[in-house]
Chains A and B, each alone.
Chain A
Amino acid sequence: MLQIPLWKRLIIVGLCALGIIIAVPNLFYTKVEMHNDAVAAVTAAKGVATPEQTAAEAAWPSWLPSGLVNLGLDLRGGAHLLAEVHVADVYASRIDAMWPLVRDALRDVRDAAGSVRRQPSVPGVLRVAISNPAGMDAALTAVKALATPVVSLTGVGQNDIDVTAEGDEIVVQLSEAERVATDSRTIQQSLEIIRRRVDAAGTREPTIQRQGEDRILIQVPGIGSASELKKLIGTTAKLTFNPVVGRTTDAGAAPGPRNLLLPAMGEDGQFYIVEQTPVVTGEDLTDAQPAFDQNNRPAVSFRFNPAGGRLFGDYTANNIGSPFAIVLDNEVISAPVIQSHIAGGSGIITGNFSVEESTNLAVLLRAGALPAEMTFLEERTVGPELGQDSIDAGKVAAVIAIVIVGLYMLASYGLFGMFANLALAINIALIFAILTMIGGTLTLPGIAGIVLTIGMAVDANVLVYERIREELKTAKGPARAIEIGYERAMSAIIDANVTTLITAAALFFFGAGPVRGFAVVLGIGIVTSVFSAIFVTRLFISIWFGWRRPKTIEL
């Protein structure tokens, strides 16, 4: 047992060496990070580098590995948001869009069904009354013909709308399968738009992912506060251009059918009555840029696609002299009077903007509107100073823990304790190496996990050493005692560590964020500590034993 075959030795030494090499860049975190950023920037700029970038690049030799452990938000500083997307909002607009189609379909069967009238109903449900209930069957058939099959894995054979009759009313709503498909599409779109908005703000490596049915998790390192992030992604940014019907200061004014009463942005108590159906919407925008108007006030310039440009051009040509409203998220930004025919599909939005606001608005308009509103369920912001304080404190604690545990092991087991300490150092390097390789994230509880591992990692060695001590008492000779010690301690080591691994797994599956970081470190720590106790320490002992050939050992 004490003789370890050469190939095994090579593998053990190789793994340790590999681990140390991969872990080393983490010791020079800032330097390596700057190097990596510089390399990325230079590659993006196709080889053109500023002197600072060249210096940063040279600070870390490029032939060395440069992978780093990701630092969690609690260490790096940044913002974390959990948003819930109101997926049901989309049902309502989908069903509203059905109304003209339903009306036209029923017009074709007017002889049987009579005249039609839209009835008030809850959002997401369209109720249409027909004046001749006897023709209900014909009406239903006509409306049902509007349905299209749902294309999805689960919804095979189902249509997108459910059409039923209730008395003299036809009830149209989205089918279950279509709702599921719509939800999924809404979340996908929201993810995409949030990603574009966050990318446009230019922060490093944001995490934007779907969670559960209708939630989105957004983590942005380096951003000042979650409020800032919320302002960026929480705005629906639905831009429309609507004809203005009138102006009022009465908040309770009845706008009249198919009109909307909207507040004016930046002018308290001012309201506009606008037509509900917009002339053009933000969906037809191809570009938006921050700009200044002729009076040098911040503004946003925009350009429409050809279709939007034509609509906009026709409308302005026909309505010279009348005002139209630029509406953003149900607020009127401004309502200029059309001076002339605006051809070419570009224009400028003026309002009471600051430079920052106009820049933000341009970003939002470029990225597109969110398909549905969002509520924020959870937010966490950690300032970079606090993160740095936590890193510093964690470092101090870890170093002190290593020193104390090392001294204690040395005092308890002498040379063998030294072996265990070497294995402990390798163990920590391996934890960092694995974290780096799997792209794991180090969080503050994760640092606590490393410190805990420092204490617990020696356990496997302690088990073996105590066993060897016992075996030495029965005087079998040192080689035999070591052999038996390892053999007999093995079942305890395995059982004890498998149970801890079960805990780590549970922590990983149920925990979120920082706790998950802790679970990862704990799990990796268990595996590496068993490896270092069973293989690395034994290799040390084997080499030492073969070299000194002691007649007795002191443990």
Chain B
Amino acid sequence: MLHSETLIYALLGLPLVASLGVLLLRKWPNLRDGQAVLIGLLTAACAIEFFARGADGTSLTLLAMTPSLSISFTPEPLGLLFALVAGCLWPLATVYTISYLRGVHEDNQTRFMFFYAIAIHAAMAIALSGNLLTLFVFYEILTFSTYPLVTHKGTEDARQAGRVYLGILVASSVVFLLFGIIGVWVIAGTLDFTAGGILAGKIDPIYVPFLLGLFAFGIGKAALMPLHRWLPAAMVAPTPVSALLHAVAVVKAGVFTVLKVAIYIFGLDFLTSTGASEWLIIVASFSILAASIVALRKTNLKARLAYSTVSQLGYIVLGAALASPLAASGAALHIATHAAGKITLFFCAGAIYVAHHLSDIKDMDGLGRRMPITYGAFALAALSIIGVPPLGGAWSKFMLMGGALDGQHMLVLVVLMVSSLLNLVYLGEIVLRGFFAPAKAGSVADGGYAEAPWACVVPLCITALISILLFFSVDFFILSFTG
């Protein structure tokens, strides 16, 4: 029987071991990548074990600066869910990455694998962090470790995108988020995540919306409009980065932080009783709709998926802003369901690129008949994102709608429905064109069966199946938050 403390060390340490292994074994690519997959599987096993066992209040302090400032890790259900999502998708993404990098002959594979593992380490540390300071430190490490991945191609375009990426994420966090954290520390005297929040009764309610704003806009990784531009910019990175980091680890770290701050710093009851998050409901709703509309107009597949992500992240922020226990549970579930769905979509986009070097939706007419497995998985994942049963996304949207009803926010219901409709249009178009549109004569899509290499296809099938699994075993993933 493993001790909880051992599991914390394992989740934090294994990705570091993997990154070290990547460096040491750089001369032998097969060994280098093989150990990364193995350690990834081990991490996934630890994450599953820890999630199944649940948090038992174990806390681990690595460094104590002053009595109220420390680097410490305290797992709780929401953090374990995020660790589970990141931990389970990491080995799948690693297999996919290896196949992708070799398929398109990327340079500097060792550097890529190294920072990939470091990013997961940072995501795990964010998931398990016991206070805002720890979270902030690893939030920044996540930003800096993903920068070399975004600019991996080294072209002027990539560097320009990297500048936008780092500029928005670092500036927003250093200006707003850090100020918010210091504000909380001054007001509450602590930064520890505590069930029920730490601010109630210590701050004049008129300041609460302002403080919440510092967090909502300081956490640039949540991609709330107008701070979303870094996400489409980051699409210049190789697709495995977009898949694991910009559909799962990085963006989920953002919305996870928003949710965690709402639940464990402000406290849901405190937010509802002060009405401090009403404005955030409007901003998040706007973000959901506006990003969907932009997605409609994008014909580059990855750009469309990126705006779809911006829109879907809005759901989770919305769940935090609604501040009812049901909405918060729905938002937490959406972290898992959207992760499974969106990583599948990106895997498919990457598979299409590896197999046929296509990135524009207009060129993909009829492609589904050449790549039936990829397109089948894409269709399943798209349905999950739209929220159609029997796929995981249905539950999280359902719970968010329930949360909106709880708070009598009828307009939010409308927003959620319209957004589902928009999802259907911009994701459905890709599937329909792929399967039913006639291929243009002489185009790549015109030809016989031609899938990407199996190591690309197998992971995306597994993640698509996870979307179905999430629907039927949803009990396992629903967290309940009180007050």
A binds B: no
User: B-side interface residues toward A, CB under 8 Å?
Assistant: none
A interface vs B, CB < 8 Å? none
